[in-house]
Chain A
């Protein structure tokens, strides 16, 4: 077997053992055992492989006996506890908020919603809005019928007489020309700068009464060009007008003659009334400013004007019922008015 000429198939697979004895396995066999390879195991390591295989055998009942305790420990740590979930769902702040006195809660909520400085002039603004809504009704009525309602004429006459000026309501005809203006208001108007206004340019060169008229016309003109975020009662023009008239409440009487002429078609520039602005629509959403007519367009037809009249009438009648404003409100006071009338 070890000589020459022996076929390869008859040759031994390994060398003969050395004289000091055979080496049954090497480190590669040990590494294979440690890696879990129990298949090609040398004979000398067969028993060791059996031991390692027994260590990897399926678990016994004794080794799985503690599962219940382990589950209990897991539940105690990870399962949702009812108390914890309730605490998690409970808001942290409501108890503290609810425990505060009601008056303090209301005050804080009010401060949070609306600054104090924006709430203060609300009454004045509401009054102004009501006044101009009434003026709108007057103007519309005058333009529609050519003369003012009797109650309004009386109110204007009273107002003019109170101011020491000539009564204008009595002479107000279809031509709408103003015979006189309140002198006291005119005096106040001279102190204010006269706004530039093309429609009343001839009037700016006149006396104080004429300047007062220009203030009224300037306000109407400026109200037409307000942007969507501007409110007409916050414009400098109206501020000056209100100051000249002695307050928002006196503005209608102060501007009665000028606006009568304006609505009668005596003005060189056609002006829509009430002022057609985007702000007018937005003002309807602001609570007190809701007295401002809304839904009014420059090409407003009969239906639009009817809405104007009903809106104005209902709100004016609910807020201003004094002797200074014996207005006739309702849809009858809001005839259709188109541009240029």
Chain B
């Protein structure tokens, strides 16, 4: 979270300061990616990029505190995610069967990055085993830092339903971890 300086940073970004926008981006993009890696693991990067495009377009019209900013950001991301899922259902991509697995280009240093962020990657992997709504609620509550009411508005549910989903997700997660003996 940006913290107390959020208002100034936002105002500067809205006035065209690229550095101020970078502060907002560095603060929110990692969290956004972690959310999307669980919610839409195959297209997290694309959805995040589209989300930021929407944010940049509407940045000058935004007004609110950091909580509202996060809510607006993740609402945009969720809409992009739903749009892309709808599009992919209508136009499914053809699998790249002709390409050998060994020929798939890989980014340099991917293993090193994976090792450095093993804990985060493992956490995302474990969280991805939860039911979709439970994982989404936990991510929005814990990773995005949104209140129960805000998450309820985003998902179109009551705060009580969101709280129940979160509790069930954590219990499920505890059961998975205790049964599998996962250690981070």
Q: Which of A33, A52, A55 has the most CB of B within 10 A?
A: A55
Q: Give B173's nearest chain A residue, CB to CB.
A: A48
Tell whether, in the assembled complex, residue B142 and residue A70 are in contact, meaning their CB atoms are under 8 Å apart.
Answer: no
Tell whether, in the assembled complex, residue B57 and residue A77 are in contact, meaning their CB atoms are under 8 Å apart.
Answer: yes
In the assembled complex, the Cα of A79 lies from the Cα of B59 at a distance in Å of 13
Return the contact of B49 from the options A31, A62, A66 (Cβ within 8 A). Answer: A66
Q: Does B48 contact A (CB under 8 A)?
A: yes
In the assembled complex, the Cα of A310 lies from the Cα of B139 at a distance in Å of 96
Q: Does A234 contact B (CB under 8 A)?
A: no
In the assembled complex, the Cα of A38 lies from the Cα of B144 at a distance in Å of 16
Number of interface residues of B (CB under 8 A): 48
Tell whether, in the assembled complex, residue B120 and residue A55 are in contact, meaning their CB atoms are under 8 Å apart.
Answer: yes
Give chain A nearest CB distance to B146 CB in angstroms.
Answer: 10
Q: Does A90 contact B (CB under 8 A)?
A: no
Q: Give B126's nearest chain A residue, CB to CB.
A: A51
Taking CB atoms and an 8 Å cut-off, the chain B residues in 16-33 that contact chain A are: 16, 18, 21-22, 25-26, 29-30, 33
Q: Does B117 contact A (CB under 8 A)?
A: yes
Give chain B nearest CB distance to A56 CB in angstroms.
Answer: 6
In the assembled complex, the Cα of A62 lies from the Cα of B36 at a distance in Å of 14
Query: Which residues of chain A are near B166, meaning CB under 8 Å?
Result: 30, 34
Query: Which residues of chain B are near A99, meaning CB under 8 Å?
Result: none
Query: Which residues of chain A are near B59, meaning CB under 8 Å?
Result: 77-78
Tell whether, in the assembled complex, residue B142 and residue A54 are in contact, meaning their CB atoms are under 8 Å apart.
Answer: no
Give chain B nearest CB distance to A25 CB in angstroms.
Answer: 8
In the assembled complex, the Cα of A64 lies from the Cα of B56 at a distance in Å of 17
Q: Give A77's nearest chain B residue, CB to CB.
A: B56
In the assembled complex, the Cα of A300 lies from the Cα of B102 at a distance in Å of 112
Tell whether, in the assembled complex, residue B56 and residue A73 are in contact, meaning their CB atoms are under 8 Å apart.
Answer: yes
In the assembled complex, the Cα of A113 lies from the Cα of B141 at a distance in Å of 70
Tell whether, in the assembled complex, residue B113 and residue A54 are in contact, meaning their CB atoms are under 8 Å apart.
Answer: no
Tell whether, in the assembled complex, residue B30 and residue A55 are in contact, meaning their CB atoms are under 8 Å apart.
Answer: no
Query: Which residues of chain A are near B184, meaning CB under 8 Å?
Result: 47, 50-51, 54
Tell whether, in the assembled complex, residue A74 and residue B120 are in contact, meaning their CB atoms are under 8 Å apart.
Answer: no
Tell whether, in the assembled complex, residue A70 and residue B174 are in contact, meaning their CB atoms are under 8 Å apart.
Answer: no
Query: Which residues of chain B are near A50, meaning CB under 8 Å?
Result: 123, 184
Q: Does A60 contact B (CB under 8 A)?
A: yes
The total number of A-B Cβ pairs within 8 Å is: 119
Query: Which residues of chain A are near B183, meaning CB under 8 Å?
Result: 47
Q: Does B7 contact A (CB under 8 A)?
A: no
Tell whether, in the assembled complex, residue A47 and residue B178 are in contact, meaning their CB atoms are under 8 Å apart.
Answer: yes
Tell whether, in the assembled complex, residue A54 and residue B18 are in contact, meaning their CB atoms are under 8 Å apart.
Answer: no
CB contact under 8 A between A74 and B56, given known A62-B117, A67-B26: yes
Tell whether, in the assembled complex, residue B120 and residue A57 are in contact, meaning their CB atoms are under 8 Å apart.
Answer: yes
Tell whether, in the assembled complex, residue A71 and residue B174 are in contact, meaning their CB atoms are under 8 Å apart.
Answer: no
Tell whether, in the assembled complex, residue B123 and residue A63 are in contact, meaning their CB atoms are under 8 Å apart.
Answer: no
Tell whether, in the assembled complex, residue A54 and residue B119 are in contact, meaning their CB atoms are under 8 Å apart.
Answer: yes
Return the contact of A44 from the options B34, B57, B178 (Cβ within 8 A). Answer: B178
Q: Does A27 contact B (CB under 8 A)?
A: yes
Return the contact of A47 from the options B48, B167, B174 (Cβ within 8 A). Answer: B174
Taking CB atoms and an 8 Å cut-off, the chain B residues in 155-179 that contact chain A are: 163, 166-167, 170-171, 173-174, 177-178
Query: Which residues of chain B are near A59, meaning CB under 8 Å?
Result: 26, 29-30
Tell whether, in the assembled complex, residue B143 and residue A56 are in contact, meaning their CB atoms are under 8 Å apart.
Answer: yes
Tell whether, in the assembled complex, residue B143 and residue A66 are in contact, meaning their CB atoms are under 8 Å apart.
Answer: no
Q: Does B182 contact A (CB under 8 A)?
A: yes
Give chain A nearest CB distance to B108 CB in angstroms.
Answer: 12
Q: Does B53 contact A (CB under 8 A)?
A: yes
Known A45-B174, A47-B184; further 5 A-B contacts with Cβ < 8 A: A44-B178, A48-B170, A48-B177, A51-B126, A55-B120
Query: Chain A interface (Cβ within 8 Å of chain B)?
Result: 25, 27, 30-31, 33-34, 36, 44-45, 47-48, 50-52, 54-57, 59-64, 66-67, 69-71, 73-75, 77-80
